[in-house]
Amino acid sequence: MVDYIETDNSTEDSDELYEHYRIVVDGGQALLRLDKFLMDRLPNVTRNKLQGAIRSESVQVNQKPVKVSYKVKPKDVITVTLAEPPRETDIVPENIPLDIVYEDEELLLVNKPAGMVVHPAYNNWNGTLVNALTYYLQNLPTTRNGEGRPGLVHRIDKDTSGLLVIAKTEYSMAFLAKQFFDHSIERTYYALVWGVPKEESGTIAGHVGRSVKDRKVMAVYPAGDYGKHAVTHYKVLQSFKYVSLVQCNLETGRTHQIRAHMKHIGHPLFSDATYGGDKILCGAPNGTYKAFVENAFKLMPRQALHAKSLGFVHPTTKELLQFNSELPEDFQAVLDKWKIYEG
């Protein structure tokens, strides 16, 4: 007999970097310390990481938090939420300036500029946020404890600007990862979209997954027969003649969630080439109006999306922290143009 193990790896098609396991202990299991039991069953997980997860209540037995010394019993149901596992690729520290909004011993918050990739990957091995963080954190415990990388528990697209929280300890990584898994993190985005939504506010609920036609694009599957559960709440903040400034609050964090959801309801993000927003979708595409829009595209040659605010419970003080960021120059410039456009 073996334990029954379910795995939910949320690093794929997700902006949230965690893994979730559900283990039903075999009926013949002898009493064994929880951390030792899990060490034998979870891949690429250190004892320190497991103990940090247990202390942060990211490991629960029969839906209740337990101590590291808990002895696993037959038929126990164990759930584990872990931050993203270390990558095999060595990360080269790079002295890249960071816009740090907040920092203490447990975490730091950065305001990522548009154009910066978060994680090293194919065609983007250098100049990423992780390269910059690895350099900045190289003299702190996060790197000396063998983990070898800074602790991101979520990410945003290369051409999306805005706030990201980074954990500096194993405990904080586990604590923050659990908040993302529980959907208790407050995330607000500002998006400039084509058109004016019929309703001033609403909720878009539709599974998001890779398009079967183009793997680089995410599609919405309302029937839930494919992809992962995704929910976006939106509110129109300002409407102009052909575009609207919309606030989006994420209940889940799927890759391209806002971009795919807004296109699904007929309002692609302005200047979003991947989802068709880099074309004139409202208004006649000619004359002075065409020149106006093309000039706006040049001012902001990326999707009009900014991660504006972030709220979460601090790992050690348990205080609810709220952070807000200003719109970057390109976004504000395009917004100002639309405010005065009379066409």
Distance between CA 85 and CA 312 in Å, rounded? 22
Point out the catalytic residue in the list 157, 159, 272, 330.
157
Paired residues of 112 in beta bridges: 162
Residue 284 has pLDDT above 50, yes or no: yes
State residue 85's pLDDT score.
Answer: 57
State residue 214's pLDDT score.
Answer: 84
**CA–CA distances in Å: residue 80 to residues 20, 58, 129, 288:** 6, 6, 27, 58
Distance between CA 15 and CA 50 in Å, rounded? 23
> If DSSP codes are grouped into helix, strand and coil, which group holds residue 301?
coil
User: What's the gap between Cα 326 and its chain centre?
Assistant: 19
Distance between CA 317 and CA 135 in Å, rounded? 27
Higher pLDDT, 140 or 284: 284
The residues near 36 (Cβ < 8 Å, ≥ 6 apart) are none
State residue 8's pLDDT score.
Answer: 67
Paired residues of 50 in beta bridges: none
State residue 141's pLDDT score.
Answer: 41
Residue with tokens 């793997």: 215
H-only helix segments in the chain: 34-39, 47-55, 129-136, 141-144, 170-181, 257-264, 287-299, 329-340
Residue 75 has pLDDT above 70, yes or no: yes
State residue 143's pLDDT score.
Answer: 43
Q: Percent of the chain scored above 90 by pLDDT? A: 59
**CA–CA distances in Å: residue 7 to residues 14, 18, 37, 79, 99:** 15, 11, 17, 10, 36
Residue 191 has pLDDT above 90, yes or no: yes
Residues 273, 277, 278, CA angle at the centre, nearest 5°? 60
**Could you tell me the two tokens for 150?**
């800074």
- What digits encode the pLDDT tens for the residues 229-279? 999 999 999 999 899 999 999 999 999 999 999 999 999 999 999 999 999
State residue 281's pLDDT score.
Answer: 97
> If DSSP codes are grouped into helix, strand and coil, which group holds residue 179?
helix
As a whole number, mean pLDDT of residues 296-301 equals 97
Residue 144 has pLDDT above 60, yes or no: no
State residue 145's pLDDT score.
Answer: 42
As a whole number, mean pLDDT of residues 44-67 equals 87
The CA-based dihedral angle spanning residues 235, 240, 243, 245, taken in that order and rounded to the nearest 10 degrees: -30
Residue 10 has pLDDT above 70, yes or no: no
- 159 assigned to active site: no
Quick one: which H or E segment has residue 121? none
Where residue 11 falls among pLDDT bands split at 50, 70, 90?
low
Q: How many Cα neighbours within 13 Å face the side chain of 181?
A: 24
Average pLDDT value for the chain: 88
- What digits encode the pLDDT tens for the residues 87-114? 545 678 899 999 999 999 999 999 999 9
- What digits encode the pLDDT tens for the residues 159-177? 999 999 999 888 898 899 9
Distance between CA 151 and CA 147 in Å, rounded? 9
- What digits encode the pLDDT tens for the residues 206-238? 999 988 888 789 999 998 888 899 999 999 999
